[in-house]
Structures are given as C-alpha cells and as structure tokens.
Amino acid sequence: MDGVALLTSTGGETTIAIAVVVGQAVAFVLACWIAKRAYDGYRAARRPPLLWLAFGIALLAAVPTVVRFLLPTLFGAASLTTTVLATASEIAGLVAILYIVYGRP
C-alpha cells in the first residue's frame, strides 16, 4: 500500500482526520492507565470495588475506542455494527461503575 494513500481522507481535511486518530489514541491510553491504576489498587488492598472500577473504566472508555477503530479498519464492519458494539460496551461499563456505587461488591 502506498504511503500517500494512507494520508488521504474522505469527507474532510487530512489534518482533521489525523487529529481524530490522535485524540482517540490519547483517550485509549488514558483509559488504560486509569484502569491499570485501579487494578493495581485492587491488588494492593484486595478491595473488590477497585476491581469493578477498573473493569468499568475499561469497558466505558478503552473497549469502545478499540471497537470504533479496529472493527471498520480490519474487518470492514458496518457503521451500525460498530456503534451497537461500542454503545453496549459503554453501557456495561456504566453498569459496572453503578454496581460499585449502589451495589455491594
């Protein structure tokens, strides 16, 4: 594949497309870092709420970013499919976090 073909975009400027990809990468890295910090806290204190928090943050932020980027890129998945899977992951992450707040983990 030609290097120039990777820099072309459809429906917008290349700088906007690059900014979106960089923004998604930053969001993914931050979500993974926060989830890892929560998991490390769980390992140190053996407090189940911290494990649920790590799981919820991963599902809320990291997984949808990967789904929205990798499914269309690698598998050519339809926009509806990626939206449904990403939204389902976000809802599951929010439910995990709500479980910490209102449940008894």
In a domain, 5, yes or no: no
pLDDT tier, 55 (very low <50, low <70, confident <90, very high otherwise)? very high
In a domain, 61, yes or no: yes
- The SS3 call for residue 21 is helix
Q: Which residue has the higher pLDDT, 90 or 24?
A: 90
Domains in the chain: how many in total? 1
Range of the domain at 93: 29-102
In a domain, 68, yes or no: yes
In a domain, 34, yes or no: yes
Task: Kindly report the average pLDDT of the chain as a whole number.
Answer: 89
In a domain, 81, yes or no: yes
In a domain, 98, yes or no: yes
DSSP for 69-104? HHIIIII---HHHHHHHHHHHHHHHHHHHHHHHHS-
Packing angle between helix 79-102 and helix 63-70, nearest 10 degrees?
A: 180
**pLDDT at site 12:** 67
pLDDT at residue 35 tops 50: yes
pTM score above 0.75: yes
